[in-house]
Amino acid sequence: MNSYLPTVLKSLNHRYPYHSIRGRSDFLWPGEKRLAVYLGINIEHFSFGEGLGANLGPVSKQPDVLNYMWRDYGNRVGVWRCLDLFNQLALPTGTIINTSVYDYCPEVINAFVQRGDELIGHGHTNSERQSDMSQEEELGLLKYCKERIKKESDQEITGWLSPWISESLDTPDLLAQSNYSYTLNWCNDDQPFLVKTRQAGPIWSIPYPQELNDILMIIHRQMDADDFSKMIMDQFDEMLYQTRQENAPQSLVMGIALHPYIVGQPHRIKHLRHALKHIAAHREDIWLTTPGRITAHMRNMTHSL
């Protein structure tokens, strides 16, 4: 007789139950819209001569000047090209920031704040992973970034994206403990959902794209800018189609993850402009928003049930 009895894996995720996209409770976005679209623009800073960083070419012994300077182009030039485009098309952004940008080029963050954009915590620097920290260090980082952004930009941030989307087993608990309302780390759905924490109540997971993401598609998969632009438009058209299904319409979230040192290059921003114009032409059909506004809407709906 077979004595094997299957057991529940110890690693089974206890943070949320499985719920198929089908059969969920229906809801609408503001203005009775079905598709929420946001731009997640990553404003990052990297240590010179040490630490992690995305790479354009072969990694050299530190100081890795080639790759560092390529990334630094984003804050000196690329981000301003992106801002011009967002202003031309009147598109809001969720501005995902390393707080070390305040030490290096605070005028970049100020430009987004002056537009009325939402700031989102993204660690102090993208040269380190959150998962390498002790629990005490991680909690200190979460609190530091919230306090620094409040001091410098007078915004009470509510959202978080970990550098390199790197977490410890305690990260959701520490986010809730530090009064964050949502995370962009958990990229497994097209709708927001609640993530359980140990003591401070649940936080929201807001969809953040891993495929509609320039660093993963253009750098890691070596997709050219024209194809990435088409990818954005295809995603938008299909999601809009899904929201309009006669028998089972769904209210969805479409995020676009951008990095100025990548899409801010002139040969790429030309194609990004084409994709964002396509989306902006449908602004009457969609909710152009930010992750924080999505979270607030979900919380208000939940409280009214």
Separation of alpha carbons 277 and 85, rounded Å: 10
% the chain with pLDDT above 90? 85
- 61 compared with 241, residue with greater pLDDT: 241
Mean pLDDT of the chain, nearest integer: 94
Taking residues 236-258, report their average pLDDT: 95
Predicted confidence band at 51 (pLDDT cuts at 50, 70, 90)? confident
What are the angstrom distances between the C-alpha of 196 and each of 12, 175, 199? 14, 11, 9
**Tokens standing for 168?**
């410890």
CB 92 within 8 A of CB 38: yes
CA torsion 148-151-157-163 (nearest 10°) is -20
| Pairing mode of beta strands 193-195, 118-121 | unpaired
CA torsion 121-122-123-126 (nearest 10°) is -160
Taking residues 145-150, report their average pLDDT: 98
Residues in the chain, total: 305
Count CA atoms within 13 Å of residue 9 on its CB side.
4
Please give the helix or strand (H or E) that residue 144 lies within, else none.
helix 135-153
Taking residues 236-259, report their average pLDDT: 95
Taking residues 221-248, report their average pLDDT: 95
Among 33, 68, 38, residue whose Cα is nearest residue 250: 33
Predicted confidence band at 244 (pLDDT cuts at 50, 70, 90)? very high
**Tokens standing for 247?**
């028998």
Helices and strands in the chain, H and E counts: 11, 9
For residue 263, pLDDT over 50 is answered with yes
Predicted confidence band at 13 (pLDDT cuts at 50, 70, 90)? confident
For residue 6, pLDDT over 70 is answered with no
| Pairing mode of beta strands 287-288, 182-183 | unpaired
For residue 304, pLDDT over 60 is answered with no
| Structure-token match 């070390």, residue found | 100
pLDDT value of position 67: 87
| Pairing mode of beta strands 203-205, 193-195 | antiparallel
Taking residues 275-283, report their average pLDDT: 98
CB 163 within 8 A of CB 126: yes
Phi, psi (degrees; rounded to nearest 5) at 183: -125, 145
* Structural domain boundaries in the chain: 30-304
Rounded to the nearest 5 percent, the helix, strand and coil shares of the chain are 45, 15, 45
pLDDT value of position 76: 98
- pLDDT tens by residue, 166-202: 999 999 999 999 999 999 999 999 999 999 999 889 9
CATH architecture of the domain with range 30-304: Alpha-Beta Barrel (3.20)
Identify the DSSP state of 25: P
Phi, psi (degrees; rounded to nearest 5) at 186: -95, 95
- pLDDT tens by residue, 280-299: 999 999 999 999 999 999 99
- For residue 31, what are the contacts with CB-CB under 8 A and spacing of at least 6? 287
Predicted confidence band at 305 (pLDDT cuts at 50, 70, 90)? very low
CB 236 within 8 A of CB 279: yes
Separation of alpha carbons 184 and 208, rounded Å: 5
- 304 compared with 218, residue with greater pLDDT: 218
pLDDT value of position 2: 56
DSSP for 258-298, written as a single string:
E-HHHHTSHHHHHHHHHHHHHHHTTTTTSEE--HHHHHHHH
pLDDT value of position 58: 80
- 7 compared with 290, residue with greater pLDDT: 290
For residue 7, pLDDT over 70 is answered with no
